[in-house]
Chains A and B, each alone.
Chain A
Amino acid sequence: MQIYLPIAEISVNIFLILGLGGGVGFLSGLFGVGGGFLITPLLIFYGIPPAVSVATAANQIVASSVSGVFAHWRRGNVDIKMGLVLLAGGIVGSTVGVWVFAWLRSLGQIDLVISLCYVIFLGIIGGMMLLEATRAIFRTRRKGPIRRSKKHQHSFIHGLPFKMRFYRSGLYISALLPLAVGFFVGMLTALMGVGGGFVMVPAMIYLLGMPTGVVIGTSLFQIIFVTANVTFLQSVQTQTVDVALAILLLIGGVIGAQFGAQFGARLKAEHLRALLGLLVLSVCLKLLFDLVIEPDELYSIMPGDL
C-alpha cells in the first residue's frame, strides 16, 4: 500500500516504513539506544531526501525519548540541574546547527557533510564499543579482576572557572564542561538527525565523571528538548519535517522497542555491546563505501532559486 508523504513529496510503501521503524525500534529496545543514528541513514538509503530524513528523525526521537524518560523519572534517575545546563548548551548548539544545515544545503554540500559526520562518529563509537566489549568478554572468561579507575582524578578539567554543584550526580565541576558537551551534541542533532545519546553518554561518564545510574535518564531528558528545538527550527527554516513520516516511524518504533527490550533481557550485556558495535561499524562502512566508490552518475540536479 502506497502513501504519498506531504513534505517529502514522494510516495512510499506504508508497510516498508512501518517495518523500518519497527526494525530500528527493535534494535533500540535491544541495545537501549535511541536509534536515530540508524533511522536517518536508512531513510536516506530508501530514497527520502536527506534534509527531510534528518529533520523528521529529530521529530521521531522526541517521541522515543519521551517514552523512555518516564521510567527513569519514576526511579529518580534524572539529574535535572545537570540536564538543564546540558540543555542550555544544546539549545544554542542545535540552533547554530540548523543554521549551518541551511547554509550547507545552499552550497550543495549537505549530503556530503551528513555522510562524513556519520562515517566519523559511527566509526569511532562503533570501533570503541566493539573493542571494549571484546575485552570485557575475554575478561569474564578469564575471571580476572576488573580494573577500576579512581573516581576523583584531578586534571585540567577541575581548574576551569564557573564551578557548580550537582547534588544528584555528586559532582562539583565547571558549568562550562556540560555546556560544551550540550552544545556539541546539539550541533550533531541538527546536522545528523540523531539524539546524540551515543556521544553524550560516554562524554557524561568519562568527561564529566557522572555516575552511570543517572546518565541515561539525564541524557534522555536533555534529548527531548534539544530534538524538540530542532523539529521546531527545521519546520520554520527549511519546512522539511514530515509529520506523516514521523508518525509512521514512531508507530513502528514503539512496538518494535517493546519486543527488543524483552529479547535483550535474555542476552549478556557485553555480547549486546559487541553486537551493537558491529552494527554501528557496518552502517559506517556502507556510508564510507558510497563516498569512496565512483558513482554511476557524476552529476546531480537540485531545484534552486538562489
Chain B
Amino acid sequence: MSLSARFIASICLSAFAVIATSTPMKRALADPLVVDLSNHLVAITTGFTGTDVLLFGAVQNEGDVIVTVRGPDQDMVVRRKERKVGIWVNAESARYKNVPAYYASASNRPMDIIAPQNILQDYRIGLDNQRFIAVSDNPDADQKVYRDALVRNMQNAGLFNQRPAKISFLSNQLFRTDIHFPANTPTGTYTINVYLIRDGRIASVKTTPLVVSKTGVSAEVYEFAHRYSALYGIIAVIIAVIAGWIASVAFRKR
C-alpha cells in the first residue's frame, strides 16, 4: 500500500522536476516554495506497524529548507520516582499544557548554521524551542529536569525525533524527506510547516495539514467503545460467555 503511494509520489516528483527545470528561464515560478506530501492521510488499520510519508517540494532559487511536523496538543504529567521504604514509587510530578503528541523536524543542513538562534526561537523550530506551559502542582520542582525528562520519554517512545532528519536536495531546486510515523502514532490533525530560509531570514513558509486517523475495524471498535461504552461492555461479556460455552462443548469429556 505504501509502496504504491510511494510510486505515485515519485511520478509526481519527476513530473515536478520536468516542470521545474523547463520553465524557470522563461518565467519565474510565482511561488518561491512549493510543497506536497505523498499522502495527506495516515490510516491506522488493523495491520498498522508504522509508516513513512514522503514530503517533496521545490524552491525557486537556492535556499535552505527546514520542515517541522507537529501533532495535536495534549496535557502531559511527568512523574518522578523516589525510593520510599525500599521500593520505588511515583512521588513528585509536574504538569505541562500544549505538549505536542508528536514532533519531528528535518533540515538540509544543521539548523544552527542555516538560521540564527533568535529566528528558530521566534518560529519555535526544533525541540529545544518548544515552549511547554507548566501548570505545575509543584512550583519548586526543577523545571529543566522535568522538561528534559518529558522530551527524553517522548523520544524513547519514538514520538519526538532524536535529532533532525535529513532533507536531501535532488538538484538545486528539488528536495525531499521522509517523515516517519511509528506504530504508536497518536491520532489527530498534524501541522507540517516548511520554511525556506535565505541569508538567515525566513523567505517563505508553507503550511500543510496531515490527518492521522484510525480506519477499518480497529477504528470502529475504538469509536464504539467510547461512544456506547455500556453496550460495548455487555457485548464483551456476551462474547466471552459464548466463547467459554463453545469451548466446554467442543472439549467435553465423553
Contact = CB atoms under 8 A, between A and B. Distances in A.
B90 A304 contact: no
A15 B75 CA distance: 35
Q: How large is the interface on A (under 10, 10 to 19, 20 to 34, 35 or more residues)?
A: 35 or more
Given A233-B233, A236-B233, A303-B76, A71 B248 contact: yes
Contacts of B49: 2, 4, 11
Given A232-B234, A235-B229, A254-B247, A112 B240 contact: no
Contact of B44 (A4, A236, A243, A305): A4
A247 B243 contact: yes
A241 B236 contact: yes
B236 A4 contact: no
B236 A243 contact: yes
Contacts of A109: 89-90
Contacts of A66: 240-241, 243-245, 248
B146 A299 contact: yes
B80 A304 contact: no
B45 A4 contact: yes
Nearest to B214: A6
Interface string B150-188: 101110100000000000000000000000000110000
Contact of A62 (B153, B218, B244): B244
Interface string A291-306: 1111101111111111
B243 A6 contact: no
B86 A292 contact: yes
A192 to B, nearest CB: 17
Interface in A232-269: 232-236, 239, 241, 243-244, 246-247, 250-251, 254, 257-258
A55 to B, nearest CB: 9
Contact of A60 (B45, B86, B240, B245): B240
A300 B230 contact: no
A292 B87 CA distance: 5
Interface string B213-245: 010011101100110011011111101110111
B149 interface: yes
B233 A231 contact: yes
Interface string B69-89: 000001111111101001111
Contacts of B204: none
The 10 tightest CB contacts between A and B, nearest first, are A66-B244, A235-B233, A299-B149, A62-B240, A232-B233, A6-B218, A6-B221, A63-B244, A63-B240, A67-B244
Given A10-B184, A232-B230, 8 more contacts: A11-B48, A11-B49, A67-B244, A67-B248, A109-B89, A231-B237, A239-B225, A304-B95
